[in-house]
Amino acid sequence: MRLDLEDTYLSLDGQGGLNRHPVEGFWETIDDNSDILSTLVSAYVSEGDWPNWEMHPGGDEVLVLVDGRMVMILEEAGGERRIEMAPGATCIVPKGAWHRAIVPEPSRFIAITYGAGTQHRAV
Protein backbone atom coordinates (compact mmCIF):
# COMPACT_ATOMS: atom_id res chain seq x y z
CA MET A 1 0.00 0.00 0.00
CA ARG A 2 1.24 3.48 -0.88
CA LEU A 3 0.19 6.71 0.81
CA ASP A 4 1.38 10.27 1.17
CA LEU A 5 2.05 11.41 4.75
CA GLU A 6 1.10 14.94 3.74
CA ASP A 7 -2.43 13.64 2.98
CA THR A 8 -2.78 10.84 5.55
CA TYR A 9 -1.20 10.74 9.00
CA LEU A 10 -0.57 7.44 10.78
CA SER A 11 -0.93 6.65 14.46
CA LEU A 12 0.98 3.69 15.88
CA ASP A 13 -0.92 1.90 18.63
CA GLY A 14 2.13 0.51 20.47
CA GLN A 15 0.94 -3.06 19.82
CA GLY A 16 2.14 -3.37 16.21
CA GLY A 17 -0.95 -1.86 14.60
CA LEU A 18 -1.62 1.46 12.97
CA ASN A 19 -4.52 3.68 12.04
CA ARG A 20 -4.84 6.09 9.13
CA HIS A 21 -6.10 9.66 9.59
CA PRO A 22 -6.93 11.99 6.69
CA VAL A 23 -5.12 15.30 7.15
CA GLU A 24 -8.21 17.27 6.11
CA GLY A 25 -10.01 18.11 9.33
CA PHE A 26 -7.40 16.30 11.47
CA TRP A 27 -6.49 19.18 13.78
CA GLU A 28 -10.11 20.25 14.25
CA THR A 29 -11.09 16.77 15.51
CA ILE A 30 -7.91 15.68 17.30
CA ASP A 31 -9.55 15.74 20.75
CA ASP A 32 -12.39 13.48 19.53
CA ASN A 33 -10.16 10.48 18.77
CA SER A 34 -8.06 8.97 21.58
CA ASP A 35 -5.96 6.73 19.30
CA ILE A 36 -4.51 9.87 17.68
CA LEU A 37 -2.82 10.66 20.99
CA SER A 38 -0.52 7.67 20.56
CA THR A 39 2.60 7.92 18.39
CA LEU A 40 1.80 10.03 15.33
CA VAL A 41 3.74 9.73 12.06
CA SER A 42 3.17 12.81 9.91
CA ALA A 43 4.73 15.02 7.24
CA TYR A 44 4.70 18.78 7.01
CA VAL A 45 5.79 21.65 4.81
CA SER A 46 7.17 24.69 6.64
CA GLU A 47 7.60 27.87 4.64
CA GLY A 48 8.55 30.08 7.58
CA ASP A 49 9.66 30.06 11.18
CA TRP A 50 7.36 28.26 13.60
CA PRO A 51 5.12 30.81 15.38
CA ASN A 52 5.09 28.84 18.65
CA TRP A 53 7.27 26.75 20.91
CA GLU A 54 5.95 23.24 21.53
CA MET A 55 6.67 20.55 24.09
CA HIS A 56 5.73 16.87 24.24
CA PRO A 57 5.72 15.66 27.88
CA GLY A 58 4.98 12.02 27.04
CA GLY A 59 7.91 11.06 24.84
CA ASP A 60 10.77 11.99 22.54
CA GLU A 61 10.05 13.34 19.05
CA VAL A 62 11.97 12.35 15.91
CA LEU A 63 12.18 14.91 13.08
CA VAL A 64 13.64 13.92 9.68
CA LEU A 65 14.28 16.70 7.16
CA VAL A 66 13.38 15.64 3.60
CA ASP A 67 13.98 18.91 1.69
CA GLY A 68 15.07 22.44 2.52
CA ARG A 69 16.86 23.70 5.59
CA MET A 70 15.74 24.10 9.20
CA VAL A 71 17.39 25.07 12.45
CA MET A 72 15.80 23.36 15.44
CA ILE A 73 16.03 25.34 18.66
CA LEU A 74 15.80 23.36 21.90
CA GLU A 75 15.45 25.04 25.27
CA GLU A 76 17.88 23.49 27.75
CA ALA A 77 18.92 24.31 31.31
CA GLY A 78 22.01 26.20 30.10
CA GLY A 79 20.19 28.11 27.36
CA GLU A 80 19.13 27.41 23.79
CA ARG A 81 20.77 24.75 21.64
CA ARG A 82 20.60 25.11 17.85
CA ILE A 83 20.66 22.06 15.58
CA GLU A 84 21.29 22.80 11.89
CA MET A 85 19.38 20.42 9.63
CA ALA A 86 20.00 19.70 5.94
CA PRO A 87 18.14 17.10 3.84
CA GLY A 88 18.45 13.65 5.40
CA ALA A 89 19.29 14.97 8.88
CA THR A 90 17.45 13.58 11.89
CA CYS A 91 16.89 15.52 15.11
CA ILE A 92 15.71 13.87 18.32
CA VAL A 93 13.83 16.27 20.58
CA PRO A 94 13.95 14.91 24.14
CA LYS A 95 10.74 14.33 26.05
CA GLY A 96 9.72 17.52 27.84
CA ALA A 97 12.02 19.85 25.84
CA TRP A 98 10.48 23.07 24.53
CA HIS A 99 11.42 23.45 20.86
CA ARG A 100 10.71 25.43 17.71
CA ALA A 101 12.19 25.82 14.24
CA ILE A 102 13.75 28.62 12.26
CA VAL A 103 13.13 27.91 8.58
CA PRO A 104 15.60 29.78 6.30
CA GLU A 105 14.13 28.09 3.21
CA PRO A 106 10.91 26.14 2.59
CA SER A 107 11.26 22.69 4.12
CA ARG A 108 9.53 19.32 4.13
CA PHE A 109 9.97 17.04 7.13
CA ILE A 110 8.61 13.90 8.73
CA ALA A 111 7.72 13.89 12.43
CA ILE A 112 7.30 10.88 14.70
CA THR A 113 5.67 12.24 17.83
CA TYR A 114 4.15 10.84 21.00
CA GLY A 115 1.69 13.69 21.22
CA ALA A 116 -0.38 13.11 24.37
CA GLY A 117 -0.31 16.28 26.47
CA THR A 118 1.45 18.42 23.86
CA GLN A 119 1.70 22.06 24.93
CA HIS A 120 2.31 25.27 22.95
CA ARG A 121 3.40 28.77 23.89
CA ALA A 122 4.10 31.92 21.90
CA VAL A 123 7.63 32.65 20.71
Model confidence over 57-83: pLDDT tens digits? Answer: 999 999 999 999 999 999 999 999 999
Percentage of the chain surpassing pLDDT 90?
Answer: 71
The confidence score (pLDDT) of residue 26 equals 81
pLDDT at 123 over 80: yes
Among 32, 58, 28, 71, which Cα is nearest to 119's?
Answer: 58
pLDDT at 54 over 70: yes
In a domain, 100, yes or no: yes
53 and 123 Cβ atoms separated by less than 8 Å: yes
In a domain, 52, yes or no: yes
Query: In which domain, by residue range, is 70 found?
Result: 8-122
The confidence score (pLDDT) of residue 35 equals 63
Q: What is the average pLDDT score of the chain?
A: 92
In a domain, 3, yes or no: no
**Number of structural domains in the chain:** 1
| Eight-class DSSP state of 69 | E
In a domain, 2, yes or no: no
Question: pTM higher than 0.75 for the full model?
Answer: yes
pLDDT at 44 over 90: yes
- Model confidence at 37, pLDDT cuts 50, 70, 90, reads low
Report how far residue 74's alpha carbon sits from residue 33's, in angstroms, rounded to the nearest whole number: 29
Dihedral over Cα of 95, 108, 18, 29: its sign? positive
In a domain, 75, yes or no: yes
Q: What is the gyration radius of the CA atoms in the chain, in angstroms?
A: 14
pLDDT at 15 over 70: yes
The confidence score (pLDDT) of residue 38 equals 79
Q: What's 76's domain CATH number?
A: 2.60.120.10
The confidence score (pLDDT) of residue 76 equals 95
In a domain, 35, yes or no: yes
